[in-house]
Chains A and B, each alone.
Chain A
Amino acid sequence: MNLKQKKPYLKKKYQYGTSLIFIIFFVWILLSGCSSTLTPTASPTPINITSAPTITALTANSEKIVTIALTQEPKSLNRSYSSSWSTSILTNIYSCWPWIYDEANVVHPYLLIEMPTVSDDGLVVTMKLRDDIKWSDNTPITADDFIFTQEMITNPANTVYSVYPYDLFMITAPDPQTVVMTFDEVFVSWMSNLWSGTLMPKHILQPVFDAAGTLDTAEWNRAPTVGCGPFNFTKWESGSYLRFDKNPNFWGPAPKLDAIVFQFVPDDAAQTAACLAGETDICYLPRYEDMETFKKAGLNIVFEPSGYNEGWFFNFRDMASPGIRDLNVRKAIAMGLNRQSNTSLRMNLVEVNETFWDGLPQYVDPSIVPYKYDPEAAKALLESSGYKDINNDGIREDKDGNPLIITQGVLESPERQKYQQLAQQQMKAIGIDLQTSSYNYDTLFASFTDGGPAAVGALDIMQWSDLPAFPDPDSSYWLCDQIQTDSNPYGFNYFGCDKTLDKLFAQQSVAADPVEQQHIFWQITKYMHDNVLYLGIWEDGDIWVVSPHLTGYKFSVVTPFFNIPEWDVTK
């Protein structure tokens, strides 16, 4: 009886449940059809754009498409708005530089007839544009585009990430093919700091700026449908991928590929899996421990010196420990650290660098003799400075009985923390107590006002990977006026003021003659090496893992995809 009464009730409930499941499934199917993609849409101004049409359904078909894994998604495709490396490397695809760097980092004119000329006093740099260069909508690229770009970058209405060094010169155009930049002071590193994918199409963006009063909200920043590179922007699906299709109006050699897709794979291990599974054709900066796996899978590995070097920066400011300010102690550290052996953390695939400028070997004094691992010589140096192990605890003390403690901090990463463990053991072997710590970027580089450990000089040695104004050798790190203080809370110098070094850096910054600049850098590198103000850990180059089906590829450090029109696929 009861059962009979309950059954219809149960049936009704089950019917509701089934309906609910169907509704959920239906909503889900609807959601899966929702597109959050950014596709080219009509410009807000009546401008004829003859770029590639919007692609609504991407199909592989017989198209030649190369997929590249990127662990970082760019936040903008307007180079002036994003300093991230992902935006930087993409600019070779859809944008164009006046000059490009090949796989040997040799510079070549690109938009120019020849490399820019510099006046005798070093103040005027003149660029002569080719007369056949054009935007992807067939509008010629002229000097006006360069002038407009400089105006936009320096305009306070636009929140570009840096106005430097576009605020250092005045720009004029005697004719549509000539750009003249006049600096107030000699600015030697113009080549590595200017026009690095920043060029903006005036005919597209001027109306946008006039209407909105800023470029911040310009659709072009995320959908640069009109570009000047070999490929055109086609689609950006947030969090998923970016697609660029062949630019049919490209003024240079026609690309052999039909499209380039950049797929965002934030996790390193997943990037490796995607490359091994053949879902992506190129992986950038994979983990060193995966190299053997890649080789076994038949993938090609390309190492490219990047200018980045991992190194120990020594603090020689007054607040540093007395030990680290003693040259013999610094030399003992250089000889007590088994840098070659420690490259095992990177499967012995990297070279130890000797100076901050090893990525630019022409600027390194050829007479520099690398510090060899020699713990006995290191101990002797410490002895000569009066550091002896008085209480037999394995750590040396100075003549007043103070233990030789050196503090060392790294920009956090598991690899660096492993390096710290090795370094601790090696320093202990020569009688130094290396006390280590690890910080995230924001903490380590917090300002002087906020008590950042680097800024206030709380660490004797700091470790991270860095480079000069590559490919220019300039660096602000050791300039005396860049030391962080209350009145200069955001300076670049965390290490100390050395008058000799400061003078040499000042000289090179106005050395218009490249040979003169090179010789000054020889003095700088020699001086810093002899005084152990910087100790190289290893060269931190770029690594590209490439599918065997890809041909014709070359990679450069500054302009990684410089020869992308020549890339092809065999399958």
Chain B
Amino acid sequence: MGRYIIRRLLQAIPLLLIISIAIFGLLQSSGDPLATMGGKRVTRSEDRARLARILGLDQPIYIQYIYWLVGNDWVKLDIDQDGIMDSYGQRKGVIRGDFGNSLVARGQSAMDLIMERIPNTLILMIPAEIIILLFSLLVGIISALRQYSLTDQLITTGSFIGYSMPILFIALASMYIFAVNFRKWGLPYLPTVGMFDPKIGKTTGQVLIHMVLPIFSMSVVSISGYSRFVRSQMLEVISQDYIRTAYAKGLSERMVLFGHALKNAAIPFVTLVGIDIPFLLGGAVITETIFGWPGMGRLFIDHLTRFDTPVVMGILMLISLAVVICQLLTDIVYGWLDPRIRYT
């Protein structure tokens, strides 16, 4: 197992390199970060030339990529525009932990911007994911065990409704119902936007109450989808011979379901969750935007729309790294769930 893990980690290095080249190339061809720096006006050509030179955007794409990867502190540059390459660059490159400075929020490290937002995103996404997983399993199992009953029909109908509704609609509808109208009707109400009330501060209570609507919105859609998946997996497993054998041996229903059926039904579910978890880092773009949650999703969109390569690359590479690690973890969990799987 140890050799397998080391081999997978070593394989990840060229994989991440290829991903970085692909994303960098796509970003470079998707837009011009200098175009909107002039604000309400197209950036003046003199300013464009000056900013391009100082920010290193006048270099060919492959040079920009090399500087992003290994830094430019080994190259002399003409920073003061006097025609003489007289000063070394200051970037250390990603391989030395320097993701560069944001092009939009100039002077700020891309990694600092990202690290500011990661805790906020995890605060929202981890509880959301736990709730989604628990309720998906619960609803899916109940639905499977009561197949074609009224409960199953109700859950199925609810799932289809929940899954068909765009999260945008759910988020805004819940905001207007539970925050605006409840307040109008004199009922206890929830806050509309933000992670906390700035007048009160970032207390645990404030964060908790502000999490309710975003998590509710995300959960409705995800639980609806996942519970259907769990239901179908459970139905498939509980019709297997070994389940019948377990019952015949006199095991309690609880033991059969949780000790045998769910464990086997969970294998494909683990794959899905394994794919989901790295994207927790990326936040939920729509939910964060609507609810004004200061997470990674909003940071990503803010900087992507301005073609801020260092920040966008930083976010995407973090997610890529998380995907690689989570896929490895998923494979390890497979081995635990299914003893037939052996890694060498």
Contact with A along B277-306 (1 / 0, CB 8 A): 000000000000111111100110010000
Choose from B41, B79, B179, B252 the contact partner of A157 (Cβ within 8 Å). Answer: B79
Given contacts A32-B123, A156-B50, A490-B48, contact A274 B193 (CB under 8 A): yes
Given contacts A3-B252, A156-B80, contact A162 B38 (CB under 8 A): yes
* B219 contacts A by Cβ under 8 Å: no
* A67 contacts B by Cβ under 8 Å: yes
B320 to chain A, nearest CB (A): 23
Given contacts A28-B127, A84-B39, contact A263 B198 (CB under 8 A): yes
* A446 contacts B by Cβ under 8 Å: yes
Given contacts A59-B200, A164-B44, A266-B289, contact A240 B294 (CB under 8 A): yes
* B196 contacts A by Cβ under 8 Å: yes
* B126 contacts A by Cβ under 8 Å: yes
Given contacts A58-B198, A261-B199, contact A273 B193 (CB under 8 A): yes
Most buried by A among B32, B175, B201, B307: B201
B105 A243 Cβ-Cβ under 8 A: no
Contact with A along B117-143 (1 / 0, CB 8 A): 101101100110010000000000000
B43 A490 Cβ-Cβ under 8 A: yes
Q: Interface extent on A, as a size class?
A: 35 or more
Given contacts A24-B126, A58-B198, A73-B302, contact A263 B39 (CB under 8 A): no
Instruction: Tell me the bound Cα distance from A445 to B295 in angstroms.
Output: 30
Contact with B along A1-21 (1 / 0, CB 8 A): 011001000100000000001
Most buried by A among B41, B107, B197, B294: B107
Choose from A2, A31, A237 the contact partner of B123 (Cβ within 8 Å). Answer: A31
Contact with B along A274-297 (1 / 0, CB 8 A): 101111000000000000000000
B289 A490 Cβ-Cβ under 8 A: no
Choose from B199, B293, B307 the contact partner of A67 (Cβ within 8 Å). Answer: B199
Choose from A58, A73, A261, A442 the contact partner of B32 (Cβ within 8 Å). Answer: A442
B192 A274 Cβ-Cβ under 8 A: yes
Most buried by B among A32, A162, A163, A222: A32
Instruction: Tell me the bound Cα distance from A63 to B199 in angstroms.
Output: 9
Instruction: Tell me the bound Cα distance from A37 to B201 in angstroms.
Output: 11
* A546 contacts B by Cβ under 8 Å: no
Residues of chain B with a CB closer than 8 A to A58's CB = 198-201
B194 A240 Cβ-Cβ under 8 A: yes
Q: Lowest 10 A-B CB distances belong to which pairs? A: A239-B294, A83-B39, A216-B107, A36-B116, A490-B45, A241-B198, A75-B105, A60-B199, A217-B107, A34-B119
Q: List 25 A-B contacts (CB under 8 A).
A: A2-B249, A33-B202, A58-B201, A63-B199, A67-B198, A156-B50, A159-B51, A159-B55, A162-B47, A164-B44, A164-B46, A222-B105, A237-B198, A239-B295, A239-B299, A240-B198, A270-B291, A273-B192, A277-B189, A278-B183, A441-B35, A442-B31, A442-B36, A445-B35, A490-B42
* A-B contacts besides A442-B307, A490-B44, 6 pairs, CB < 8 Å: A31-B119, A67-B198, A215-B107, A241-B198, A263-B194, A270-B292
